């Protein structure tokens, strides 16, 4: 059975691209913002890993990660932040607040696959 990844990003084209990159090895579901992603989680969808953007409408990635971290159920799901924000201070804060990895856009698809593999398959 394939491991499940939840991809959270407000840009449809980006969600489609990343889903194509990952779907041969993983079962990928998508959400367009943090609120939609939280709704999936609260309705019983439990991914093995989450890949999330930061800059999204409604509930942004930072708030989404903080809500995951404060949940007794969801705080153990690894989160990879995939964002165009490249400020070191913000990266450190996100890693402290619950993100497992941080990759900058534009990203190398092979690097994303390796990081996902290390979090999901190598443990």
Crossing angle of the two packed helices 109-120 and 12-22, in degrees rounded to 10:
60
Q: Domains in the chain, start-ordered, CATH in brackets?
A: 4-120 (3.40.50.2300)
**pLDDT for residue 123:** 54
Please tell me whether the peptide bond between 45 and the residue prior to it is cis, using omega within 30 degrees of 0.
no
Reading the chain (123 residues) residue by residue, the pLDDT tens digits are: 899 999 999 999 999 999 999 999 999 999 999 999 999 999 999 999 999 999 999 999 999 999 999 999 999 999 999 998 888 888 898 888 889 999 999 999 999 999 999 999 865
Q: At 82, phi and psi to the nearest 5? A: -125, 100
Say if CB 99 and CB 79 are below 8 A apart: yes
What's the pLDDT at 97?
A: 87
């Amino acid at each position: 059975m394939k491991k499940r990844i939840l991809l959270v990003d407000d840009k449809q084209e980006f969600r489609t691209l990343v889903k194509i990159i990952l779907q041969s090895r993983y079962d990928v579901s998508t959400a367009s913002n943090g609120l939609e992603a939280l709704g999936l989680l609260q309705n019983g969808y439990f991914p093995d890993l989450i890949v999330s953007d930061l800059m999204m409408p409604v509930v942004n990635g930072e708030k989404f990660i903080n809500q995951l971290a404060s949940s007794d159920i969801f705080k153990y799901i690894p989160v990879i932040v995939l964002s165009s924000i490249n400020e070191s201070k913000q990266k450190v804060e996100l890693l402290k607040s619950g993100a497992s990895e941080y990759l900058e856009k534009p990203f190398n698809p092979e690097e994303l696959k390796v990081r996902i593999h290390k979090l999901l398959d190598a443990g």
